[in-house]
């Protein structure tokens, strides 16, 4: 079933799209959104964070930033010493721009556009599969989320980074829908790519992400699965907010 029902009392108490007056009564939770590429994870996570007044962290952007640095420094992925040295040179942080959007910074420079290119997409799964890289990124991600009130999307957020997250989502979609979404995303960045290489890249990434030894992509047993093939971003966002409110308001509703 697509929508999990939340009681009318919870919805009215939460006022899904106007939460400022209620936040003090809500407990903070961690929201983990995992799933395949181009299923709407990041867009949904950003909107959910904005509605709830939570911090948003794009874990995928962190791995993309590492990949970009490795490419620029010509790091040999088969050389653990080179990988460790390069990781020591990296500082990744997020800043909110004038439009309220979170942007990725690598060593003080904005790289939001650079990390979204096909060149980075073609290698990010290989870089992400390296144990040294995952250990370094997971450590940073856990530090970012230790105070809760966070929405983080990725591939191992609910299984490895925050296994105790109160709300876990797992997003899927059919391969053609995902390819069209990625093509549109690239076109918006003035990068025209044919559909076939995009599909090939997505299939390859799925295989690498799902079978790697370190933190493979898999659905946590307690995660809510959401097929986004025929679902709008607004519907995805509403569903996650609805589920989050049910958890955030539970202690209050018992009183």
- The pLDDT assigned to 4 comes to 38
Is the pTM value of this prediction over 0.85? no
Catalogue all structural domains in the chain, each as residue range(s) with its CATH number.
29-249 (3.40.50.300)
Question: What gap in Å lies between CA 162 and CA 158, rounded to an integer?
Answer: 5
| Per-chain mean pLDDT for the chain | 89
Express each pLDDT in 43-59 by its tens digit: 999 999 999 999 999 99
Q: Does residue 6 have a pLDDT over 50?
A: no
Place of tokens 């690239």: 186
The vertex-105 CA angle with 182 and 181, nearest 5°, equals 5
Q: Can you read off the two tokens belonging to residue 89?
A: 């040179």
In 3-state terms, what secondary structure has residue 135? helix
Half-sphere exposure of 231 (CA within 13 A, CB side): 24
Express each pLDDT in 119-170 by its tens digit: 999 999 999 999 999 999 999 999 999 999 999 999 999 999 999 999 999 9
CB 168 within 8 A of CB 32: yes
For residue 141, give the nearest of 124, 156, 121 by alpha carbon.
156
Strand partners, 109: 106
């Amino acid at each position: 079933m697509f929508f999990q029902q939340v009681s009318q009392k919870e919805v009215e108490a939460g006022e899904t799209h106007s939460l400022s007056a209620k936040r003090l009564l809500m407990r903070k939770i961690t929201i983990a959104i995992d799933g395949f590429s181009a299923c709407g994870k990041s867009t949904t996570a950003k909107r959910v964070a904005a509605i709830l007044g939570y911090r948003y962290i794009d874990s995928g952007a962190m791995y993309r930033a590492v990949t970009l640095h490795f490419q620029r420094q010509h790091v040999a992925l088969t050389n653990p010493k080179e990988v460790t040295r390069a990781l020591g040179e990296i500082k990744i942080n997020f800043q909110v721009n004038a439009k309220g959007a979170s942007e990725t910074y690598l060593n003080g420079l904005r790289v939001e556009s650079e990390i979204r290119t096909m060149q980075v997409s073609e290698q990010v799964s290989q870089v992400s599969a390296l144990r040294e890289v995952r250990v370094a990124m997971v450590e940073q991600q856990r530090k970012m989320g230790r105070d809760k009130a966070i929405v983080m999307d990725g591939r191992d957020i609910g299984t490895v980074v925050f296994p105790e997250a109160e709300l876990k989502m797992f997003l899927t979609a059919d391969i053609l829908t995902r390819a069209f979404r990625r093509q549109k995303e690239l076109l918006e960045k003035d990068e025209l790519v044919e559909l076939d290489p995009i599909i090939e890249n997505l299939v390859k990434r799925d295989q690498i992400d799902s079978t790697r030894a370190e933190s493979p992509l898999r659905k946590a047993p307690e995660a809510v699965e959401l097929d986004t093939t025929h679902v709008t971003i607004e519907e995805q966002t509403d569903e996650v907010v609805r589920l989050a409110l049910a958890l955030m308001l539970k202690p209050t509703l018992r009183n």
